[in-house]
Structure 1
Amino acid sequence: MQYQAEHLQENELIALYKNMLFPRMIEEKMLILLRQGKISKWFSGMGQEAISVGVTMALKAEEYILPMHRNLGVFTTRKIPLEQLISQWNGKASGFTKGRDRSFHFGSQAHKIIGMISHLGPQLGVADGIALAHKLQNKNRVTAVFTGEGGTSEGDFHEALNVASVWQLPVIFCIENNGYGLSTPTNEQYHCKDLADRALGYGMESHIIDGNNIVDVFTKVKAIAESIRQNHRPVLIEFKTFRMRGHEESSGTDYVPNSLFETWKTKDPIDNFEQFLQSISVLSEDIINEIKTDFTHNINEAIAISFEESEITPSESVELNDVYQQIKYQEVAVKNDFDNIRFIDAISESLKQSLERHDNLIMMGQDIAEYGGAFKITKGFIEQFGKDRIRNTPICESAIIETAMGLSIAGMKSVVEMQFGDFISSGFNPVVNLLAKSHYRWGQNADVVIRMPCGGDVSAGPFHSQTNEAWFTKTPGLKVVYPAFPYDAKGLLATAINDPNPVLFFEHKALYRTLKQEVPKDYFTLPLGKASVVRKGKDITVISYGAGVHWALDTLDQHQDIAADLIDLRTLQPLDTETIYNSVKKTGKVIILQEDSLFGGVASDISALIMEHCFEFLDGPVKRVASLETPIPFAKNLENQYLPKDRFEKALLTLMAY
């Protein structure tokens, strides 16, 4: 192996060697502990150390790196305490995830490292978000993100590269091409000679680097990073390397021909570099032995510290309190200056006033800039706030949600508009597995609001009419808001944007231009998790949200003899059970109306909660009314049959007569 090291100082060469050797020796010890049953799993990066170390040393300490589970060298080069890493791998309380996740599924803001989730692809878009934040903050920083050749087959890879190229973000996309995605060889992963060639399709610069040559990795990445700092743009680097052990230790290596191991053994990045440094008299056997002795001592000491730590004592309150970042609601009171405006205007006003209030708030979505969005909610925003903050996005829901996560990591807020709430399915993974779980896993909040224009009664058919709130109410870590009135929509949206946790904000399209109300002109907030009692009565409790509240009102107006408590939930997660229980205990009868189809919907859980907590107060069965168990149809007569408006009246009268 040839090293072009003439321009490197002796201390740099030794640092490169030590930073590769240390994770190798840690791994060798971990494999012993794995065989002894003292750790549960290990993903080896043996043979790939030069990439992790070279890239990390090429970046500045304040620049983020998003590694994979084979990049131990990133963590050790950034000087994360080894005893804390071992405690992380052992599921101890002092680990980064408090025993809630394993391996390298964590991040450390102190070390500017953001770990991956097992779905691999989402971290690429997160890197876009961090880089976007730095670009908007006028910080000339580079963000580096890792993936394997197998991960390049995921849609997130293509979406992230496209976004980075369109927005010219300072990201280095690092592909560790080690020949196998678990057991699947490259010829079954992609049909091109080099993965670096894919950059051409995105108008992106690319390079191929020998991933086992530490000098090449360090010097070339350092030069690329410095160039990116001066001229913001994304760069794709394919590192050619080989994985000397299995995908994980239990996988074995039977699927790899022995000849490959023999070939790549001669290319070991540490052995070759050690021999080179000896040949130029930078290292000697005595120095090498001294380094190894010191490392062995450090590793054994860290293991002893971690293993002495007691096992975690489970605490329900601790676990539940860490699902969300705790926040104290800050009320901004209503002033006595109102205007009669539509639901859609209330949303627009709230967004505009939040943008004025938060300089670090970014809005992203398809066609939201000049065009003003599919519903014209953001019309005129770019004239006031500019295209940096009101950002048209490519059609790639997943990458944009991931970008929002990256913005949050870098200290910014974002509102992402789904053109239609139905399209969230294309970004489902980062919502439920990344945004929802990050704070619980390692204390990183996701300061993201996703706006969800939703709902039927507009003859838009099965792909533009869904109300899919139940997909998210069952996912711990997400908050779900679903207002029914302009007043509530404005105040709740302001609060959702203030909240540092991820919020799904549902806006019923049928209410946008059909409903008007007196709404405060100035900025104000309303608390999440607090229902509204729209009408009060002693006969029956009616519970609904969104358009269902108005269907219930229409029905009750036709039956003036029914004195009902009508509860508008407003927030589905967290749910105001106190208001529900108090009403049910007063009336003794309850009917729940939702627009979503019945099975697995919000009404089912509310019904179960009432049966568990208010059974002795009930004078009849808890009744649920919902749409048909079909996709929502297009033709108006079919849609009318699908929706529960008419069925609600029949169910209400039946229950009243029970």
Structure 2
Amino acid sequence: MSKTMSLFNIDYNIKGLDESRLIELYKNMLKPRMIEEKMLILLRQGKISKWFSGIGQEAISVGVTMAMDKNEYMLPMHRNLGVFTTREIPLHRLFAQWQGKASGFTKGRDRSFHFGTQEYKIVGMISHLGPQLGVADGIALASKLKSKNEVTAVFTGEGGTSEGDFHEALNVASVWGLPVMFCVENNGYGLSTPTNEQYNCKDIADRAIGYGMESHIIDGNNIIEVYTRVNEIAESIRETPRPVLLEFKTFRMRGHEEASGTKYVPQDLMDSWAKKDPVVNFQSFLKEKGLLTDTEEVSIKENILKEINDNLDIAYNEEAIIPNKTNELNDVYQSFVYEEFNFNYEAKEIRLIDAISDGLKQSMQQHNDLVIMGQDIAEYGGVFKITDGFVEAFGKDRVRNTPICESAIVETAMGLSIAGVKSVVEMQFADFVTSGFNPVVNYLAKSHYRWNQNADVVLRMPCGGGVAAGPFHSQTNEAWFTKTPGLKVVYPAFPFDAKGLLATAINDPNPVLFFEHKGLYRSIRQEVPADYYTLPFGKASILKEGEDVTIIAYGAAVHWALETLEQNPTINADVLDLRTLQPLDTDAIYASVKKTGRAIILHEDSLFGGIASDISALIMEQCFEYLDAPVKRVASMETPIPFINQLEEQYLAKGRFETDLKDLLAY
């Protein structure tokens, strides 16, 4: 018989599976179980800091992993130790990770399973559970674009399906036909919240209907059912790329993490699921079938225990990390050696918007797999027409209209980077980045520091006032990002700078937010080389030189400053256009202030918390003895930006700059 009832009511259909594969499934489940049992002892002894137990859920991790090819990416969660062990990561590296040792995967910078490894094609989760679902979309998109016929498997719990990222990621995957298996481990509780307080449909698999997506419900405690069904589904996806939602019915036998316990779980529920223990049941089944003897069982356990103890010794004997400020700072960004592309002097006068469009188009030619994504950017050409004609030039695969889901698209860009593909994402308006704020500041910004994975992503950010667009289409929100280590922030004021800096941003393997002032798009013209060229980050442009005062600005504020000086020809000022805010050209700032003895910083953002505050503090710290007057900041009002012209003019700093400048000179 191929179908046999084991001792504890799990039905195993082993048709088509040979003895060696059955024993391999058992060993692969037993190993994470034994590691967990050891970790729980070490947790009580204070030798590790935290533990998220997957006891009772091993069949899912092991079955899915064994159904995947080793070159296919997997994105696991807290309770998926079996993914890591089945991919044969050396145990001493896992133990070092949990002990915060250097040979772990995050060099002591993050804990537990918050890491990834390209070597084993594993991408770890972050505490904000949802983003990895969109990241899986990006990896799968890269596979589809490269015709690799690969599947990406991403895990989440039933609690994580309540997050908006889940719905965005499924929608994108469905619309784009991406080869992703969304694996939901429905284990009964999101921390202490039961499923009837998490969702109101019968099964999570039902949600696939709304996305036009195939779904399956699988017994997550039945290792044979998990392995055979996922193997069949994965093979089908490789042949016909598409997303599939898999709901694994299982149960969490221990607390969300060990400190939380399980007192909120009814005892009869615990008892009923204990009878469906995936390891104990399968072990009994193998013995009943004569495939595993008591002696063999003891030998397998002894070998695993020896492997655990030997690797624990390696991890214990590794020296503790010695803090090194240089190492920490150097790992925030991937190293980038700027390559200068020069231009000839054939130039034409174009607008800022044309320069950005040209720069983007030439970068698409420079990088033949560069993908751009955004709302309405394909046939429509974007709301500002920057990508007009791009579909005809580069095709729909590389110029991708997106659903209105900023979070999932930023995450998709991160997934593309993991798979080695550059991308540019257009936020239709910079204001809309709030809908994707979490993956920008917690995923893109922190990945290289955490596990040496860069985020090769440029976010284009049309921003700024002066166009009567009101509170949700006019913000200059660069300060949200200049304070986030791991991000680079570019904010050009002229067409020449915009084109060259955009090329550099795309070449840079780190995440770059590229701010484009809407009010300058069609109002500023300049001679711009027709060639592809680059400009370096961290180099301010000195637009005027004088002895009276240093004016520091960027974006539209640069033009406000220049207009003020034109109206006051007796004021001799250094005018610094910062061009990039992160990195910041502090050398140019200090040199100018030391020369003039006065500094005024002008920006369009509101005052408190704006970058002018940090620049002012830097000047006070580094140039205090050179100053003849206090550093002055000029910024917009402490209100949201209003719509009607007369209120917007009152809001903007432009109308106050001349008075404040003259007050500073008279000090």
Q: How many residues align?
A: 658
Partner of 1:441: 450
1:196 match:
205
SS in 1 for 2:199: coil
1:327 to 336, 351, 369: 336
Structure 1: 5+ residue stretches without partners = none
Asked if residue 104 in structure 1 is aligned to residue 104 in structure 2, the reply is no
Which residue identity lines up with residue 240 of structure 2 in the other structure?
N
TM superposition shift of 1:260: 1.0
Residue-by-residue CA offset, 1:514-559 (whole Å, 9 max, x unaligned): 1100000010000011110011111100000000000000001011
Q: Alignment partner for residue 165 of structure 1, among 151, 154, 174? A: 174
Within the candidate set 427, 450, 466, 2:436 is matched to 427
Distance in 1, matches of 2:141 and 2:266, equals 43
1:245 is aligned to 254
- Alpha-carbon distance in 2 for matches of 1:11, 1:358: 47
Determine if the alignment matches structure 1 residue 604 to structure 2 residue 629: no
**Displacement of 1:331 after TM fit?**
0.3
Give the secondary structure class of the aligned counterpart of 2:467: coil
The structure 2 residue matched to 1:645, chosen from 647, 654, 664, is: 654
Aligned residue number for residue 50 of structure 1: 59
Is 1:483 the counterpart of 2:492 in the alignment? yes
Aligned to 1:302: 311
Task: Please point out which of 581, 586, 594 is paired with 2:590.
Answer: 581
- Letter matched to residue 353 of structure 2: I
Q: Deviations over 1:172-217 (max 9, x none)?
A: 0000000000000000000011000000000000000000000000
1:572-621 Cα distance to aligned partner (Å, 9 max, x none):
00100000000000000000001000000000000000000000000000
TM-score under structure 1 length normalisation: 1.00
Equivalent residue number for residue 457 of structure 1: 466
Confirm whether residue 374 of structure 1 aligns to residue 378 of structure 2.
Answer: no
2:409 to 400, 414, 419: 400
Paired position in structure 2 for 1:492: 501
Which residue identity is paired with 1:490?
K
Deviation at 1:499, TM superposition (A): 0.2
SS in 2 for 1:209: strand
Given the alignment of the two structures, is residue 593 of structure 1 paired with residue 612 of structure 2, yes or no? no
Residues 1:150 and 2:152 aligned together: no
Measured in 2, the distance between the counterparts of 1:234 and 1:38 equals 41
Give the match's secondary structure for 1:133.
Answer: helix
C-alpha distance in 1, partners of 2:111/2:241?
35
**d(CA) in 1 for partners of 2:230 and 2:268?**
30
Please state whether the residue corresponding to 1:110 is helix, strand or coil: coil
Question: Which amino acid is the alignment partner of residue 92 of structure 1?
Answer: K
Q: For 2:571 and 2:599, locate their aligned partners in 1 and report how far apart those are by CA, in whole Å.
A: 13
Amino acid at match of 1:531: A
Q: Counterparts in 2 of 1:17-416, with a 5 A limit?
A: 17-416=26-425
Task: Give the drift of 1:478.
Answer: 0.1
Q: Work out the CA distance in 2 between the residues paired with 1:527 and 1:491.
A: 8
Aligned-residue offset at 1:398? 0.1
Partners of 1:146 and 1:301 in 2: how far apart?
30
The letter for the 1-side match of 2:358 is: E
Rounded Cα–Cα distance in structure 2 between residues aligned with 1:74 and 1:268: 18
Q: Whole-Å Cα distance in 1 between the matches of residues 653 and 71 of structure 2?
A: 55
Note the C-alpha offset of 1:24: 0.2
Which digits, 9 at most, give the CA deviation of each residue in 1:618-652, with x for residues without a partner?
00000000000000000000000000111100000
User: Separation in 2 of the partners of 1:535 and 1:390?
Assistant: 40
What TM-score, normalized by structure 2, do the two folds share?
0.98
Aligned to 1:506: 515
Q: For residue 85 of structure 1, what is the amino acid of its counterpart?
A: L
Equivalent residue number for residue 3 of structure 2: none
- For 1:116 and 1:62, locate their aligned partners in 2 and report how far apart those are by CA, in whole Å: 19
What is the CA distance between 1:472 and its match in structure 2? Answer: 0.1
Question: How far apart are 1:281 and its partner, in Å?
Answer: 1.0
- 2 CA distance for matches of 1:273 and 1:501? 47
Aligned equivalents of 2:397, 2:49: Cα separation in 1: 46
Provide the rounded CA distance (Å) in 1 between the counterparts of 2:67 and 2:291.
21
1:360 deviation in Å?
A: 1.7
Confirm whether residue 525 of structure 1 aligns to residue 534 of structure 2: yes
Q: Work out whether 1:472 is the aligned partner of 2:481.
A: yes
| Cα distance in 2, alignment partners of residues 590 and 435 from structure 1 | 34
Equivalences for residues 532-551 of structure 1 within 5 A: 532-551=541-560
Distance 2:71 2:398 in 1: 24
The 1-side partners of 2:247 and 2:160 are apart by 13
In the alignment, structure 1 residue 616 sits paired with structure 2 residue 651: no
Q: What is the CA–CA distance in structure 2 between the aligned matches of 1:38 and 1:170, rounded to whole Å?
A: 41
Structure 2 Cα separation of the partners of residues 202 and 149 of structure 1: 18
* Separation in 1, partners of 2:117, 2:495: 41
* Distance in 1 separating the partners of 2:486 and 2:497: 23
For 1:607 and 1:207, how far apart are their aligned partners in 2? 59
2:23 maps to what in 1?
A: 14
Instruction: Provide Cα deviations, 1:67-109, integer angstroms capped at 9, x if missing partner.
Output: 0011000000000010000000010111100000000000010
- Compute the displacement of 1:334 (Å): 2.2
| Shift in Å, 1:359 | 1.1
Q: Deviations over 1:418-477 (max 9, x none)?
A: 000000000000000000000000000000000000000000000000000000000000
CA distance in 1, matches of 2:588, 2:344: 26
CA distance in structure 2 between the partners assigned to 1:505 and 1:301 by the alignment:
50
Distance 1:347 1:201 in 2: 38
User: Partners in 1 of 2:655 and 2:158 — Cα distance?
Assistant: 55
**Distance in 1, Cα, partners of 2:215 & 2:42:** 40
SS in 1 for 2:150: coil
Counterpart-to-counterpart distance in 2, 1:298 and 1:338: 67
User: In the aligned structure 2, how far is the partner of 1:296 from the partner of 1:439?
Assistant: 34
Corresponding residue for residue 4 of structure 2: none
Amino acid at match of 2:508: D
Distance in 2 (alpha carbons) for counterparts of 1:556 and 1:88: 58
Structure-2 residue corresponding to 1:629: 638
CA distance in 1, matches of 2:400, 2:426: 10
Q: Distance in 1 between matches of 2:147 and 2:631?
A: 57
| Structure 1 vs Structure 2 CA RMSD | 0.4
Letter in 1 for 2:444: L
SS at match of 1:506: strand
SS in 1 for 2:77: coil
Could you tell me which amino acid in structure 1 is paired with residue 376 of structure 2? D
Letter in 1 for 2:654: K
Name which of structure 1's ranges 273-282 and 419-428 shifts more when overlaid on structure 2: 273-282
Equivalent AA in structure 1 for residue 177 of structure 2: Q
Separation of aligned partners in 2, 1:244 and 1:10? 29
